[in-house]
Amino acid sequence: MSKKARTSGQRTHWQMVAHDLKVNRTIYLLAIPMLVYYILFKYVPMYGVTLAFKEYKFLDGILGSPWATPWYKYFKQFVTGRWFVITVKNTFLLSLLDFIFGFPAPIIFALLLNEIRSTPFRRTVQTITYMPHFISVVVVCGMIVQFCATKGLFNSIISFFTGREGKNLLMQTSWFRPVYIGSGIWKGIGWNSILYIAAIHGIDQSQYEAAKIDGAGRFAQALFITIPCMAPTIIIKLIFRMGDMMSIGFEKVFLLQNDATLQVSEVISTYTYKTGLKGMKYSLSTAINLFDTIINLALLLTANALARKFSETSLF
Amino acid sequence: MAIKRTRGEKIFTVINTIFMLFLSFIMLYPLWHVLVASFSIPTRIMAHQGALLWPLGYSLEAYEAVFGHPMLFRSYMNTIIYVVLGSAINMFMTILGAYVLSRRNLYFKKYIMIIITITMFFSGGMIPNYLLVDALGLRDTMWALLLPGAIGTYNMIMMRTYFQQIPYDLEESAKIDGAGDLRILVQVILPLSAPILAVIGLYYGVGHWNSWFSAMIYLTDRTKFPIQLILREILIMGQFSELEDTAASTTWSAVEETLKYAIIIVATVPILCVYPFLQKYFDKGVLVGALKG
């Protein structure tokens, strides 16, 4: 706009702004709720991040509390503390395992489902696999707790095959990750496949016709048409998944963990919560949070740069 | 057109069909197990191990306990309030925001956009948010669950993208007819945006239905608890606070077992009855979301 104004040479910058405010006054009025929301609920807490560098005193509030000396006191406390290595390792490992097993699952499912020729059967399977997505996290974890119990469903299956008496699976460190990853796939495979199924639907049918004339079988069609056509979608998802590599959802981990499995189940987000709201160490908790935010931001920016380089889609 | 199938393809089709049936079974069985157990006789469930295909006897004890639970009904009602009121606030704020951001020729738009985008990547975190809610006097009120998440930035950007795709001519002709910006929103943009409104409304609704963490940190007054928090107490922590006083029977520990199953059914079945009908909206939503934000 400013360019336009300059070429017309009629108005100064401030006249233009005044004109804009007048012409678009309704719009700016409509923008007020949104701006108030963002400033109050997003930017005020951002200022609260300074807590990470302060000695928080309840009576003095964030503003009045004195600065910590040295300023990195609480970061040092976290990094040298005994939970640092454990939480960083667990966060990364859980995320990595979820990526290795959870990422390809919906893609493979979409490909296999596409090979089902009967439409009613395909739609039914699709609807059924969506179902777990609509069960709340609390209920899913509640079911997991029931099934993992000493006399629960999973243990009877295990003892059926091994003949050994089962122990509560959630109380064993070796089972936490498999249970977490497995239930994640169960809950997400159908829902996450929607995008890939849509990508397959978008493929030009004439390509298949041409391939059939050339004598390509169904395997060849899948390999040389379907998969290459899905590739852009997969790559985008892959890159952004990499940006999430150090963030693991709080809720499911928190609901499934217990004191017996903390060595493998304590992740940065659960530790932040326990330090802060349970342990009342506000400054330390905010420092851990900030550490986590910065790492995630760095990963996301890297992922975005990659997305921009290798495809036309990027977040910003 | 004759479809020629090789032997390998035929075998694949059979295996694939079996695999799909198996997958459907894996998806459905846990819920079936829960359903069947919830109707079984509590003491027999206690003694039973392994898979269940059919109820062990027939008993409604668990459901009587569930419906007799004073907090459960209360929290169910609370959740309905959170879902309805929360989604209404969400939609109001999101529509206004998306509309503002979809306008052309808005001098300050790029600054507003920067303000919003930054919040997608950087946030204050748990403690600063908690202190803010506390300072605003929202702690232990229902507003603590309704206001802090009033706008989902990603949802708003999705909606803005949709608004931008509406042909500009329509607005232009409305403007010539003398419509102001507010009337354009209500009479031109919104009627043409039903799919995105449905999708985002559903996202918000499901979000409120599933939410429990904010309630856990902000609420201490049990009469304001949403159902998910009560479910967490019962299913994850094995606490039956209000129930234990009322039920003093000797078979109580057995009823506790089936009660958990019954409560899962009560909390899940309403949604499961509805979602197949909403499926097309969600399918659409994923596609809209797949467009560049």
Q: How many separate domains does chain B show? A: 2
Residue B218 lies in a domain: yes
State the pLDDT at residue B285: 67
Same domain, B50 and B78: no
Flag if B6 and A217 touch (Cβ within 8 Å): yes
Chain B contacts of A28, Cβ < 8 Å? 108
Whether B152 has a pLDDT exceeding 90, the answer reads: yes
Instruction: Check CB contact under 8 Å for B276 and A1.
Output: no
**CATH architecture label of A79-310:** Orthogonal Bundle (1.10)
Q: Does residue B111 fall inside a structural domain? A: yes
Task: Note whether residue B27 is domain-resident.
Answer: yes
Q: B251 pLDDT exceeds 70?
A: no
B158 plus B126 within the same structural domain? yes
> What is d(CA A126, CA B24) in angstroms, rounded to the nearest whole number?
9
Q: Find residues 260-279 of chain B whose CB sits inside 8 Å of chain A.
A: 260-261, 264, 267-268, 271-272, 275-276, 279
The pLDDT score that the predictor gives to residue B151 is 95
Domain boundaries for CATH 1.10.3720.10 within chain A: 79-310
Q: What pLDDT does residue B95 have?
A: 96
pLDDT number for residue B286 = 66
Q: Are residues B36 and B169 in the same domain?
A: no
Do B94 and B158 reside in the same domain of the chain? yes
Q: How many CB atoms lie within 10 A of CB A279?
A: 12
Q: What per-residue confidence (pLDDT) applies to B4? A: 58
Whether A136 sits inside 8 A of B97 (CB atoms) is no
pLDDT tens track for A6-60? 555 566 888 888 888 888 888 899 999 999 999 999 999 998 888 889 888 877 7
Among A77-81, A85-89, B158-162, B285-289, the range scoring the smallest mean pLDDT is: B285-289
- The whole-number pLDDT of residue A314 equals 61
DSSP, res B52: -
Cβ of B17: how many Cβ atoms within 10 Å? 17
Establish if B206 belongs to a structural domain: yes
Q: Please give the residue range of the domain that contains residue B253.
A: 7-68+247-290
Q: Which residue has the higher pLDDT, B186 or B69?
A: B186
Interface of B with A in 172-201 (CB under 8 A): 180-182, 185
Complex ipTM value = 0.87
Q: What's residue B70's pLDDT?
A: 81
Same domain, B43 and B108: no
Asked whether residue B96 carries a pLDDT value surpassing 90, the answer given is: yes
B2 located within any domain? no
A275 reaches B (C-beta below 8 A)? no
Contacts of A40 in chain B (CB under 8 A): 132
pLDDT at A2: 47
Pick from A49, A121, A134: CB nearest B124: A49
Q: Report CB contact under 8 Å: B122, A17.
A: no
Per-residue pLDDT averaged across B186-215, rounded?
90
- A49/chain B closest Cα distance in angstroms: 5
pLDDT exceeds 70 at position B244: no
Q: For chain B, give the percent of residues with pLDDT over 90.
A: 40
Same domain, B81 and B217: yes
Residue B63 confidence (pLDDT): 86
Per-residue pLDDT at A24: 85
Q: B22-80, pLDDT tens digit by residue?
A: 999 999 999 999 999 888 887 777 777 777 778 887 888 788 888 888 888 899 999 99
B207, burial (CB in 10 Å: exposed 0-12, middle 13-18, buried 19+): middle
Residue with the larger pLDDT of the pair B274 and B251:
B274
For A170-214, where are the alpha helices, taking DSSP H only? 173-201, 205-213
- At B212, which CATH number? 1.10.3720.10
Helix axes B109-121, B153-164, angle to 10 degrees: 140
- pLDDT of amino acid B1: 42
pLDDT at B292 over 50: no
Residues B84 and B53 in one domain: no
Whether residue B217 has pLDDT greater than 80: yes
Quick one: B23 and B79 in the same domain? Answer: no
- Answer yes or no: do B120 and B27 share one domain: no
Contact B236 A297 (CB under 8 A): no
Calculate how close chain B gets to A281, using CA atoms only, in Å: 9
B33 by DSSP, 3-state: which?
helix
- A108 contact B CB<8A: no
Per-residue pLDDT, B293 = 34
**What are the pLDDT digits (tens) for A235-254?**
878 877 877 777 778 899 99
Q: Do A109 and B267 touch (CB under 8 A)?
A: no
**Banded pLDDT at B213 (limits 50, 70, 90):** very high
Confidence (pLDDT) at B240:
74
The answer to whether the beta carbons of residues A276 and B255 sit under 8 Å apart is no
Is B108–A272 a contact, with Cβ atoms under 8 angstroms apart? no
d(CA A263, CA A268): 12
Provide mean pLDDT across the span B157-168: 89
Flag residues of chain A having pLDDT under 70: 1-11, 311-316
Percent helix, strand, coil in chain A (nearest 5)?
Answer: 80, 0, 20
